[in-house]
Structure 1
Amino acid sequence: MRFEKGHKAATRRHIIDVASKCIRQDGISAAGIAGIMGEAGLTKGAFSPHFESKDALVREALASALSDQQHRLDEDRRTGLALEGAIRRYLNRAHLEDPANGCPSAALLPEVARQPLSTRQDYEKALRSYVSSLAALLPGADSAASRRRATAIFGLMVGTLQFARAVPDTIQAEQILEGGVEAALQLASV
C-alpha cells in the first residue's frame, strides 16, 4: 500500500504526541510500546519503522513535552503575564487533574533521573531554557542570583504539584497548591 508524501512523518509525530501523554499519565516504566501504539490507533508492528527502541521514543516524547511547556511559558511572557499569573497557571486544579497534558517534570522527574545519559542531557538543556524564561519574569532578571531563584521556584512548583497529586483529599490538595503559590511568590520577592 502506498501512502501520501509526508504520511510517515505525520505518523511519527502522532506517535510522539501520544507517547508524550502516555508517559506523563502512566509513567515511563508503565507505558509500554503496545499500549502507546494502541492509543495511537496503530499496531505494535508499526513501531519499528519509526523508532529504534523505547528509549528513543521516550527521549523524543519527553523532548516534545518539555518543548510544549517552554512554549506555554514563552507565550505567558509574550502576552505580558506576570510571574504570579505564571505560577498560578502552573499550580492550579486543572494542571493537578491532567498530568497527561501537564508538566513533564512533575509527572516524571524520578524516572528521568534513571534514563540514558542522552535523555538526561536533553532534559538538562530544556530545564536551563525554562529556568531562564522563568528568571526573566523576576526582578534583576539578568543576574545569576535570579536564575538560581528561578530554579528554586520551579523546584518548589514541581514538588508542590507532586504533593497535591499524591493526596486523595481534594480540599487538602487545594491547600497544598495555594501554599505553593504563596511560597513561590515569597521566594520570588526575596
Structure 2
Amino acid sequence: MRYSRDHKGEVHSIIVTRAAKLMRRNGSWQVGIHKLMHSIGMTHGAFYSYFTSREQLVQQSFVSAMDETMQNWRNIHGTDGASGIANHYLSTRHRDHPDAGCAIPGFLEEVGRGSSAHKRLFSAKLKEMVELLREPPTPAGRPCQEPMAMLALMVGAVTLARACGRSDISEEILEASRRGATSLCLDSGDSRRDKHGGASGSDA
C-alpha cells in the first residue's frame, strides 16, 4: 500500500518523538530498533522506510528533545533568568522524569563513543544552551556570569542525583548544586525557590 507524503511525515514524527522519550529515560544506547518499532505497533523492517540508519534516528531524536528543552528554557528564562533555569533543572521533578527532561544526560554515553557528526551536533546544541544562559533575562537584567560552568554543574549534578535515586544524598546533591549554580548568576534568582520544579511544561 502506498501512503501519502503527509502520512509518511506523520509516522516519521511519531517515531522520533517516541524515540526521544525512550532515549532520555533509558539512555540512547539502550534503545534498539526492534523494541522501539514494536512499542508503536510497527515492524523492525518498516523502520528503514523512514531512516537510513539507527545513527540518523539518534541524531534526529536528540535534536527533537533538545529543541523541546530549549523552548522550555526560553519560557523560564523570560521571567526568571538563568537562575530560574537552574532551579528548575536541579529539581526533584526533573530528576524523577528524565523522559520529559533534558536530552544531554540520556545521550552522553553514545555521543562520547559516536561519530564526528554526532559530536558536532552535540556541541552545537550545547552552544545554544550556553548562549541562552549568557543572555540577560530582561533588557535591564544581568546575565549568568559563568554559563559554561553552570551548564556543566547542572548536567553533572542531575546525573549523580538520578544515580542515587530518591534518597537523602540525592536531595543533598540537588540542593547543594542549586546553590552553586545560582551563585554563578548575576540575575535576581533565588536558589531556595522551586525545589520541586515549579515551572509548567516539560521537566528541563
TM over 0.5: yes
**Contact 2:20/2:62 (8 A) holds in 1:** yes
Question: 1:178 maps to which residue?
Answer: 175
Q: Are the counterparts in 2 of residues 73 and 134 from structure 1 also a CA contact under 8 Å?
A: no
Residue in 2 that maps onto 1:72: 72
Q: CA deviation at 1:107?
A: 2.4
Superposed, which structure 2 residues align to 1:1-190 within 5 Å? 1-78=1-78, 80-137=79-136, 141=143, 146=145, 149-189=146-186
- Note the residue ranges of structure 1 that are not aligned, 5 or more in a row: none
Select the structure with the greater relative contact order (CA < 8 A; seq sep ≥ 6).
2
Question: Residues 77 and 84 of structure 2 are in contact (CA less than 8 Å); yes or no, is this contact kept in structure 1?
Answer: no
1:16 shift after superposition: 0.6
The CA deviation string for residues 83-124 of structure 1, in whole angstroms up to 9 with x for no partner, is 322111111111101111111112222321112111211111
**AA paired with 1:109?**
L
Aligned length, in residue pairs? 184
* Alignment RMSD: 2.0
More helix as a share of residues: 1
Q: CA–CA distance in 1 between the matches of 2:148 and 2:169?
A: 26
% identity of equivalent residues: 28
Contact 2:157–2:174 at 8 Å: present in 1 too? yes
Cα distance change of structure 1 residues 137 and 38 upon mapping to structure 2, 3 Å threshold: farther
Contact 2:28 2:106 in 1 (8 A): no
Deviations 1:48-80 (A, max 9, x none): 0100110110011111111111111112233x2
In structure 2, distance between residues paired with 1:94 and 1:39: 25
Please say which of residues 86-95 and 129-138 is displaced more in the overlay: 129-138
For residues 102-150 of structure 1, the C-alpha deviation after alignment (integer angstroms, 9 at most, x for no partner) is 1111222232111211121111111111110011147754xxx94xx10
Partners in 2 of 1:32 and 1:38 — Cα distance?
10
Return the TM-score normalized by structure 2: 0.83
The answer as to whether partners of 1:95 and 1:102 remain within 8 angstroms in 2 is: yes
* Stretch of structure 1 that moved more, 50-59 or 170-179: 170-179
